[in-house]
Amino acid sequence: MAYLQPRSELRTHSVENQSGPLEGLNAFENDIVLKEAVRRGGASWAEANLTSLGAKIYDPAWMERAELANRVTPELKRFDRFGRRVDTVEFHPAYHDIIGMAFQHDLHALAARDSRRGAHVARSAAELMFAQLECGVLCPIDITYGVIPMLRMHQPDLAEQWVPLMLSQDYDPRPIPHWEKTGVTIAFTSTEKQGGSDIRRNSTFATPVGEPGPGREYLIRGHKWFCSAAGADVIFVVAQAEKGPSCFLVPRWLPDGSRNPIQLERLKEKMGNR
């Protein structure tokens, strides 16, 4: 399209020394350093997935969604219109499109699903590209990635129950019980006001409902200060148990179909991220 330039005496400057648009470039195919790193790291088998993801990074339609997901920030919905607590976070549909796309490309679970050599390299390459499009969705993605091996290693009984849902590539944003969903997102919270690094000072307490011990039911009472992706379906919560701080899997819904009373107080600004 030809732009009509202002009359020469009205021009203030000419635009130069600016990069051209990246639209249409494949973020994987055109990144020779990344491609070489993937091959050297033994992840050539993942190139089809990486090329397919790479095609979306500079796609104007995806870039527009990323822009929208950043501009139209999430909103905290604490009550429904009848005054019942719901404690959910509402996002612009563009946010859900983007996180759904990340799930399809397996950013949340690639190395947990595929034990081939180079799986972590493949996943890192995907994340490196994805971060060029949008970082706001990476928290639940990365937490899921971290939680799966932790659960498998430390609590295989819970892993058996939860990991299939965590591995799902079918992202499901509906705020409904996890057993009705096609996939879940995960959050994590340890940080409290009196300290983040020093979790020994946590004042959130976990009391056993019956027999104490790993994998048993606990009642947790306390207040957290940071929880990225607070609207997630499952929150891993650090709380003081009988022998010191421990980590608890806290589902948003209880087995009897009632809401687990997790109250979200506010959404806060954290280093440009909401």
Ligand X SMILES: Cc1cc2nc3c(=O)[nH]c(=O)nc-3n(C[C@H](O)[C@H](O)[C@H](O)COP(=O)(O)OP(=O)(O)OC[C@H]3O[C@@H](n4cnc5c(N)ncnc54)[C@H](O)[C@@H]3O)c2cc1C
Q: Applying CB under 6 A, which residues contact ligand X? A: 188-191, 195-198, 226-228, 270-271, 273
DSSP state of 211: S
State how far the Cα of 229 lies from the Cα of 251, in Å rounded to an integer.
Answer: 14
**Minimum distance of ligand X from residue 138's CB (angstroms):** 10
Q: Find the DSSP H helices in 41-137.
A: 47-57, 60-71, 93-104, 110-113, 119-133
DSSP-derived 3-state class of residue 251: strand
> For ligand X, which is the closer residue by CB, 115 or 197?
197
- How far apart CA 99 and CA 173 sit, in angstroms, is 9
CA 68 to mean position of chain CA atoms: 17
Distance CA 215, CA 154 (A): 10
CA distance 77 to 175: 11
**Smaller CB separation from ligand X, 111 or 143:** 143
* E strands, the chain, in order: 75-79, 85-90, 186-189, 205-208, 218-221, 234-241, 244-251
Is the CB of 51 or the CB of 191 nearer to ligand X?
Answer: 191
Which H or E run contains 59? none
In the complex, the smallest distance separating the C-beta of residue 141 from ligand X, rounded to whole angstroms, is: 12
**How far apart are CB 194 and ligand X at their closest, in Å?**
8
**139 vs 165, beta carbon nearer ligand X:** 139
User: 118 vs 140, which CB is nearer to ligand X?
Assistant: 140
Contact predicate 129/27, CB 8 Å: yes
Q: Minimum distance between the CB of residue 139 and ligand X, rounded to whole angstroms? A: 6
CA distances 171 to 102, 107, 165, 264, Å, are 9, 12, 10, 22
Which residue has the closest beta carbon to ligand X? 196
Between residues 19 and 197, which has the closer beta carbon with respect to ligand X?
197
Smallest gap from residue 190 Cβ to ligand X (A): 4
CB nearer to ligand X: pick between 216 and 274: 274
